[in-house]
Chains A and B, each alone.
Chain A
Amino acid sequence: MAEALLEVKNVKKYFKTPKGMLHAVDDVSFTINKGETLGVVGESGCGKSTTGRVVLRLLEPTEGQILMEGQDIARLNDSQMRSKRKEMQMIFQDPLASLDPRKTVGQIIEEPLKIHNIISSRHERQKRVLELMETVGLAQRYYSTYPHELDGGRRQRIGIARALSMNPKFIVCDEPVSALDVSIQAQILNLLEDLQHDMGLTYMFITHDLSVVHHFSNNIAVMYLGKIIELAPSDELFAHPTHPYTQALLSAIPVPKLENRRERIILKGEITSPINLPKACRFASRCLYAKPECFGQEPELKEVAPGHQVACFLKDKPD
């Protein structure tokens, strides 16, 4: 039924480090349908941000295909890619760091319009910037203020307006609300939701906050050490988490209510870095149910229910 906008196939991103190859993203595949949101969750160092940047080719993939409406953007040359960026945008985690401190709000939102020569008349351009500011809920009086003069929520609105200025089809949101206070967080999430509805946007939503990702996404991919270990529709994942890591992750969310609390699963140990990995399940050393076979080979993603994929040996067998 739904049409795929973005297909990522077997994408890898390795970094050379003094200690060896760092497998930041290791053979990741997923599809995002038009107008939908894929949530990518995981703990720091799991490769979720790197995946977001590779998809936009802000980092060059080591291997793999990134198909945007069927066209492999990994094969585009520099100038083709620059022009393609109009369709694929990003919203950053730290709204202050991602805005040039020496440019005013107007200049920041206007820049993409200038770069891609979307509107050449100065007057028209200003009109469009003010329009965009209204769309994201920024009062016009902030046109010539600097980002540092505003609060976190407004700064993030500038970043969103900049991304929207080119009428993109697809936006990677990298932890767009984790630097904000709870009440402001909700304002920005609602804004992103409205924009998706009004403009038919497709999101890849990267976050460590599971309650936010649950609320926001159609599908969720759980990453661990550079791999997607579970991929399922949002409600399905929360109702039937299948991978032992997903189960632990979900149980660890501090729930702001007193009744119906989940039983906590406390994991031992901490996430390691994906350098010189042995051929084994990456989670095996922390897994509460690990069996000898888990240390011998790596599990592949397999479908356990419609649209629900898990990479775990324990779920293969009927026992």
Chain B
Amino acid sequence: MEKTEFKQRSMLAETWKRLKKNKGAMIGLAIVLILFLLAIFAGVIYDYQEDVIKQDYNELLQGPSAEHWFGTDELGRDLLARIIYGSRASLFISFAAVALAAVIGCFFGAISGYFGGKVDSVIMRLTDILLAIPETLFAITLVAALGTSTFTLIIALAISNIPIYCRLLRGSVMTQRGSEHVEAARAIGARTSTIIVQHILPNCLAPVLVQFTLSIATTILTISGLSFLGLGVSPPTPEWGSLLSSSRSYMREHTYLTIFPGLAIMVTILSLNLLGDGLRDALDPRLR
């Protein structure tokens, strides 16, 4: 590699430099990292059999204490352990589903927006059909047909999220396609694929990133709804949504049962949002 004084600034290093300046985004990033580490190393911190699913009738509905920081649930299980284990299901399923939806949706959205015409009409009518079916209803149908499993759950949630990304990207791509810098790329003889990948997509990424963090949030809530109906994660495996719904009967006297899983969801979503906003700004060289 040549060393010259005119080093090209690398996109990644630049982004990181700008992201570092954004306090909110850094806090968000720190929390997201901690959450992921906790989810990954949950097995090291707690023993699944002993701490998470073993019922202890001497310890029913204990409030927060030195021994049980978040208290215990109606079956005497440590709430903190269940929340940390629960993050595995919640985070994994929602991330997998939304990432899948974003990739597929963006792919079709880009094609639809760039080529327009008949291709666009067909793709858009298909997304209209998907949009017309409520997410939960669709998931119920699919899970009922294919059987309850994490995999079907991910597929069901992904499919119902696809149209959002498809429409989002189609709109931005259409604006970008008409812009002069894309015409300039055509004028220098760039291939269609180069134009889409190098000139259009990078300029369409911002709204996708923000939508990504929002979708994670709604997906966590949908999963909890499905778990409540018995179609999501089945007990005794903990999951944030099911923790929340099972706590409802005790909400009056044992508020902490609702507060802690709720906080977990809130903190996750908030930090994802902070990170998403920060990333969007950091990826744009015009904002500094």
> So, do A and B actually touch in the complex, CB under 8 Å?
yes
- A85 contacts partner chain B, Cβ-Cβ < 8 Å: yes
A4 to chain B minimum Cβ distance, whole angstroms, is 22
Binding-face segment, A91-99, A193-201, A246-254: A91-99
Q: Are B4 and A111 in contact (CB under 8 A)?
A: no
Residue B65 is within 8 A (CB to CB) of chain A in the complex: no
Asked if A126 is at the interface (CB within 8 A of a chain B CB), the reply is yes
Question: Which chain B positions have C-beta within 8 A of A130?
Answer: 6
What chain B residues lie within 8 Å of A82 (beta carbons)? 189-191
Write out, one digit per residue, whether chain A residues 59-99 have a CB within 8 A of any chain B CB (1) or not (0): 00000000000000000000001110110011011100111
User: Which residues of A have CB within 8 Å of B8?
Assistant: 104, 106-107, 143-144
Q: How large is the interface on A (under 10, 10 to 19, 20 to 34, 35 or more residues)?
A: 35 or more
Stretch at the interface among A115-123, A209-217, A219-227, A298-306: A115-123
Q: List residues of chain A with CB within 8 A of the CB of B7.
A: 144
Are B180 and A89 closer than 8 Å at their CB atoms?
A: no
State in angstroms the CA–CA spacing of A162 and B6 once bound together. Answer: 18
Contact with A along B171-195 (1 / 0, CB 8 A): 0000000011101111111110010
B50 within 8 A of A: no
Query: In chain B, what residue has the closest Cβ to A79?
Result: B191
B2 within 8 A of A: yes
Distance in angstroms between the alpha carbons of A123 and B199 in the assembled complex: 24
The verdict on B252 contacting chain A, using a C-beta distance below 8 Å, is: no
Interface size range on B against A:
20 to 34
Contacts of A166 in B (CB 8 A): 188
B118 at interface by CB-CB < 8 Å = no
A101 and B286 in contact, given A58-B183, A140-B6 (Cβ under 8 angstroms): yes
Q: In the complex, how many angstroms separate the beta carbon of A72 from the nearest chain B beta carbon?
A: 18
Known interface pairs A126-B4, A126-B6. Does A101 touch B191 (Cβ–Cβ under 8 Å)?
A: no
Instruction: Establish whether residues B189 and A100, one from each chain, have CB atoms under 8 Å apart when the complex forms.
Output: no
Interface residue? A56 (CB, 8 A): yes
Distance in angstroms from A225 CB to nearest chain B CB is 24
B188 to A115, Cβ gap below 8 A?
A: yes
- A45 in the interface (beta carbon within 8 A): no
B146 → A minimal CB distance (Å) = 42
Main secondary structure of the interface of B (DSSP, over half): loop
A104 touches B202 (CB 8 A): no
At the interface, yes or no: A295 with Cβ under 8 Å from chain B?
A: no
Q: Which residue of A lies closest to B179 (CB)?
A: A97
B236 within 8 A of A: no
Within 8 A of B (CB), among A100-114: 100-102, 104, 106-107, 111-112
A255 to chain B, nearest CB (A): 32
Q: Which residues of chain B in 216-251 are interfacial with respect to chain A, using CB atoms and an 8 Å cutoff?
A: none
Does A148 lie at the interface of the complex (its beta carbon under 8 Å from any beta carbon of B)? yes
User: What is the chain B residue whose CB lies nearest that of A142?
Assistant: B6
For residue B283, which residue of chain A has the nearest CB? A102
Is B55 at the interface (CB under 8 A from chain A)? no
| Nearest B residue to A121, CB-CB | B2
Selected from A83, A101, A143, the residue in CB contact (under 8 A) with B203 is: A101
A56–B186 CA distance with the chains assembled, in angstroms:
10
Complex CA gap A116/B202 in Å reads 22
Known A-B contacts A90-B184, A106-B6, A126-B6; the reply to A146 vs B191 at CB < 8 A is: no
Which of B6, B9, B199, B283 gathers most chain A CB within 10 Å?
B6
**Residue from A102, A112, A122, A159 with most neighbouring chain B CB atoms (10 Å):** A102
Could you write out 16 A-B pairs with CB less than 8 Å apart?
A53-B183, A58-B186, A82-B190, A90-B187, A92-B183, A92-B184, A97-B180, A98-B180, A98-B184, A102-B203, A102-B285, A111-B188, A112-B188, A130-B6, A146-B285, A148-B285
Given contacts A81-B189, A101-B286, A107-B8, 20 further A-B contacts (CB under 8 A): A58-B183, A82-B189, A82-B190, A82-B191, A89-B188, A92-B183, A94-B180, A97-B179, A99-B184, A101-B203, A102-B11, A102-B283, A106-B6, A112-B188, A115-B191, A116-B189, A122-B2, A123-B4, A126-B2, A146-B286
Identify the 9 closest CB pairs spanning chains A and B, nearest first.
A85-B189, A98-B180, A143-B6, A97-B180, A82-B189, A112-B188, A123-B2, A90-B187, A98-B184
Instruction: Show the binding face of B for A, using Cβ within 8 Å.
Output: 2, 4, 6-9, 11, 179-181, 183-191, 194, 199, 202-203, 283-286
